Amino acid sequence: MSDVSIVSCAEYSQSSCENALEEVLAPLGGLLWVKEGMRIVIKANLVSAMKPGLAATTHPALLSALVRMLKARGAHVTLGDSPGGLFTAAFVGRVYKQSGMHEVEAVGAELNQDFSQKVAQFPAAKAAREFAYTAYLDKADAIINFCKLKSHGMMSLSAAAKNMFGAVPGTVKPEYHFRFPNAMDFAHMIVDLNEYFKPRLCIVDAVVGMEGNGPTAGTPRQIGAVLAGENPHKVDLLCAKLIALNPAQVPTLTAAIERGLAPESVEDLSIAGDFESLLVPDFVRIESGQSTQFSSILPGVFGKIVGKVGRRALSSVPKLRRKECVGCGVCKNICPAKAIAIKKRIAVIDRKSCIRCFCCQEFCPKGAMKVKRPLPARILS
């Protein structure tokens, strides 16, 4: 059986979505594992209350096509996510409405209405040995991770692995950014979440992805593909290849490879489908540049000092484009390090306090926060 499957899908029409899902799942054994009466949770990417055409959320047409396939096999289907913000019926209900999720409800899925939380103990984790999570996931016999392919300020790539961060309740997410401010620690936490929940299947909506200032304020970009696989990191490895992103610049891939959960190169994958015809070499990417580990090259205290200086010199930072800022205060309120103040209706970042988590860039409603990659990092790449 193939590690990853990929097919062409040029549009979100019902027939295109149904055909694409049937074709992409066939090399993986289809949905034969779904038995009548199974409780399936589709973990979509519903990062914010944004319309489907903005390419920030998993498209309802693809989700609806999957629901129809699951219902045909007699499954009970629940769809959910915990977007950035309050994990409440009112807040998430607004996200459901704006992102078109009532279309999914119309074809037989239930939208999650359980907003309780639990705490998991995971001794086998590398970073997140204890974490809060959305309790509705416990009701699943199997989880299908249905993500969106996007650029990302902190992780460079938002696809299968990163989508499982939505298992953490929205109001707790800033705490986890503060708890894991280093990009690699955060990446290991993401890998831990995937290891804990173990999605049965990962599907990627890459019909229209998001490039540039992702994962919410970027630009929709036609890619024309749907991907699927059982291993989220192998799926992400092919996603990175699609958009010409170096896997070494994707901390979650670096962490997964280090832990033996994915091969080092896409060439080591068994891929079903003609992915080369779907490559987008001019995709506007964000390369985080935060995975450099000088301390592993230079020994002792000197290596640690050089490593610390080197990481700061090569790491991207959030930067405000002043003319686009309206002083709304969203960045100030969401910043886990309390490193942003609003002065004279302009956001001001305290660089000494900034932990480079890019929460401000991710949730700025005007897209005024950008990812700034320093000159040394651009030269080296």
Q: Taking 70 as the threshold, does the pLDDT of residue 196 lie above it?
A: yes
Q: Do 284 and 275 contact (CB within 8 A), yes or no?
A: no
Q: Taking 80 as the threshold, does the pLDDT of residue 381 lie above it?
A: no
Q: What is the band of 378 on the pLDDT scale with cuts at 50, 70, 90?
A: low
Per-residue pLDDT, 33:
98
pTM for the full predicted model: 0.89
Q: Taking 90 as the threshold, does the pLDDT of residue 377 lie above it?
A: no
Question: Of the candidates 231, 230, 229, 216, which has an alpha carbon nearest to the alpha carbon of residue 275?
Answer: 229
Question: Of the candidates 242, 238, 244, which has an alpha carbon nearest to the alpha carbon of residue 277?
Answer: 242
Helices 232-242 and 183-197: angle between axes, nearest 10 degrees:
130
Per-residue pLDDT, 81:
98
Q: Taking 50 as the threshold, does the pLDDT of residue 29 lie above it?
A: yes
The rounded distance, in Å, linking the Cα atoms of 380 and 18 is 44
Q: What is the band of 286 on the pLDDT scale with cuts at 50, 70, 90?
A: confident
4-278: which CATH topology?
A: Rossmann fold (3.40.50)
Per-residue pLDDT, 116:
98
Q: Taking 80 as the threshold, does the pLDDT of residue 187 lie above it?
A: yes
The pLDDT of 159-165, averaged and rounded, is 98
**Nearby residues of 282 by Cβ (< 8 Å), 6 or more positions away:** 244
What are the tokens at 223? 């890619």
| Residue 158 Cα distances to 151, 252, 296, angstroms | 6, 10, 27
- Give the chain's end-to-end CA distance (angstroms, integer): 36
The rounded distance, in Å, linking the Cα atoms of 80 and 96 is 9
- HEC secondary structure over the chain: CCCEEEEECCCCCHHHHHHHHHHHHHHHCCCCCCCCCCEEEEEECCCCCCCHHHCCCCCHHHHHHHHHHHHHCCCEEEEECCCCCCCCHHHHHHHHHHCCCHHHHHCCCEECCCCCEEEEECCCCCCCCEEEEEHHHHHCCEEEEEEEEEEECCCEEECHHHHHHHHCCHHHHHHHHHHCCCHHHHHHHHHHHHHHHCCCEEEEEEEEEEECCCCCCCEEEEEEEEEEECCHHHHHHHHHHHCCCCHHHCHHHHHHHHCCCCCCCHHHCCEECCCHHHCCCCCCCCCCCCCCCHHHCCCHHHHHHHHHHHHHHHCCEEEECHHHCCCCCHHHHHCCCCCEEEECCEEEECCCCCCCCCHHHHHCCCCCEEEECCHHHHHHC
What residue has token string 């800033």? 174
Antiparallel, parallel or unpaired: β 39-44 and 142-152: parallel
| Mean pLDDT, the chain, integer | 92
Instruction: For 296-325, write each residue's pLDDT tens digit.
Output: 444 565 555 545 555 555 568 899 999 999
The rounded distance, in Å, linking the Cα atoms of 325 and 369 is 8
Percentage of the chain surpassing pLDDT 90? 84
Q: Taking 80 as the threshold, does the pLDDT of residue 376 lie above it?
A: no
Instruction: For 228-279, write each residue's pLDDT tens digit.
Output: 999 999 999 999 999 999 999 999 999 999 999 999 999 999 999 999 999 9
Per-residue pLDDT, 300:
60
Taking the alpha carbons of 232, 191, 254, 59 in that order, is the dihedral positive or negative? Answer: positive
Instruction: For 58-103, write each residue's pLDDT tens digit.
Output: 999 999 999 999 999 999 999 999 999 999 999 999 999 999 999 9
Query: For 219, how many CA atoms within 13 A lie in the half-sphere containing its CB?
Result: 8
Centroid of chain to Cα 375: 27
Per-residue pLDDT, 28:
98
Per-residue pLDDT, 299:
58
Give the start-to-end residue ranges of the domains of the chain.
Answer: 4-278, 315-380
CATH 3.30.70.20 fits 315-380, yes or no: yes
* 294 vs 177, more confident: 177
What are the tokens at 301? 């205290």
The rounded distance, in Å, linking the Cα atoms of 216 and 56 is 5
What are the tokens at 231? 């291993």
Q: What is the band of 375 on the pLDDT scale with cuts at 50, 70, 90?
A: low
Q: Taking 80 as the threshold, does the pLDDT of residue 201 lie above it?
A: yes
